[in-house]
Homo-oligomer: A and B are copies of this chain.
């Protein structure tokens, strides 16, 4: 009996990987094309661009061989849906999640190159959304396309591509509820969680939730001359600062009443898993550039990011902010305040807790107004499911190293939505790196890591027999 050497009996999966490698230039060109669309979901003036990104995604899904696609309107930005049927009947169905919207670019003057003109430099592709998460979405599309062409798609693949992730997915739960049959699947693969470090494939089994607020403090009926009224009027910017200062305790914990009431404790297994994550205080200092770390002393930095809730001032403004001196007492001062939540907190509770804090602590010399702009629950799942193992195997075969399992400090509302509405678990991973500067100026995607990511998705979705 003649035995061919292994490189010659290349199976269909390996063949698909080879095909993907051959086409890496074309793949990168497609990624460059989609990042040119400034799909900033929070900016009303970009509404048409967000819609254009949805149409682009739909066009590519059709072109790549989807059996069916739909653009589902919502009260906000649309959801793109598609289905690619598996080569074999009775195959499982998997949902591939992605978002095609991006964060705003400001402060735009800090970008070295235009945020929507993709630029290659030192093996990275610089553009807003390159890493978060257009490269991740494209890894899914390109893996499926390659498998379809190789006749090796091992699962029926459904896509859920949304355009509101960066504003907290306010309309996604409604769209899932209204189209439950379209989105049903055994599991969701969600590549919106990155790697803990270069060359360290990573799977996340938890995400923090989010509650985002806009707080306005009002004092005088107009900006006042600080000479004429300084001493008898409580400056709203000062009152805002005083209220913000009171939102944390001296030990770094959040001071809102009841904030920790429902927080799930970190058990021994979780402590051990966090301790195994290869991210040190030094890594975080280097990644952030701060002179010293901060936060709850009773927890490690990895635990503080993944398993503890936080409260952040995302923006603050009031009074004169131009060049030089202007001696006013501002009529108003504003802050954007968000909390990152962990199981089993509820974002609606946090709204009530923040309002209660303000009721208790705001002085009678000012008035306040609190609006919730976004909310999503935290997510946690069993990292030992068969899908987690299968994705871990795919990552291991590409990186030649077992993935790290960790919690993710970020928020991806869809994971909680899918679990609550459809009972669907999620495998969270991705190919973004900690220094990709997501949400910041000069966002970029490491291109070699992205090519590896496409291969990992191919191996995960390939037919077992392929």
Contacts and interface: CB of A to CB of B under 8 A. Distances in A.
Contacts of A320: 104, 106, 314-315, 336
B289 A235 contact: no
Contacts of A434: 228
Contacts of A439: 223-226, 326-328
A363 interface: yes
A293 B167 contact: no
A181 B387 CA distance: 90
A319 B319 contact: no
A229 B327 contact: no
Interface in A309-341: 310, 312-330, 333-336, 338, 340
A289 to B, nearest CB: 3
A232 B295 contact: yes
A212 interface: yes
A73 interface: no
Contacts of A223: 107, 439-441
Interface stretch (A29-37, A172-180, A344-352, A408-416): A408-416
A24 interface: no
Contacts of A290: 219-221, 233-234, 365-366
Nearest to A214: B325
A305 B230 CA distance: 6
A292 B247 CA distance: 23
Contacts of A233: 284, 288, 290, 293-295
B440 A224 contact: yes
A364 B320 CA distance: 28
Interface residues of A, number: 101
Interface string A281-305: 1001001111111111000010011
A229 B222 CA distance: 37
B325 A373 contact: yes
Nearest to A221: B289
A363 B336 CA distance: 23
Interface string A252-296: 000000000000000000000000000001001001111111111
A288 B224 contact: yes
A170 B314 CA distance: 36
B238 A248 contact: yes
Given A245-B246, A289-B221, A320-B106, A294 B232 contact: yes
A167 B310 CA distance: 41
A334 B321 contact: yes
A437 interface: yes
Given A228-B434, A324-B42, A319 B336 contact: yes
A79 B115 CA distance: 47
Given A238-B244, A293-B232, A314-B320, A42 B224 contact: no
Contact of A226 (B44, B240, B312, B321): B312
Given A289-B220, A321-B334, A340-B226, A328 B308 contact: no
A227 interface: yes
A403 interface: no
Interface string A39-65: 000111000000000000000000000
A393 to B, nearest CB: 27
Given A225-B440, A232-B301, A315-B320, 15 more contacts: A104-B322, A106-B322, A107-B223, A208-B227, A223-B440, A234-B292, A237-B335, A238-B313, A241-B244, A245-B246, A314-B325, A314-B326, A319-B336, A320-B336, A321-B334
21 contacts: A43-B322, A219-B290, A221-B289, A222-B440, A226-B314, A227-B411, A233-B284, A234-B290, A234-B295, A235-B312, A235-B313, A237-B313, A238-B245, A238-B247, A245-B245, A294-B363, A313-B330, A314-B329, A316-B333, A317-B321, A325-B373
The 5 closest A-B pairs by CB, nearest first: A221-B289, A227-B410, A42-B324, A245-B245, A231-B304
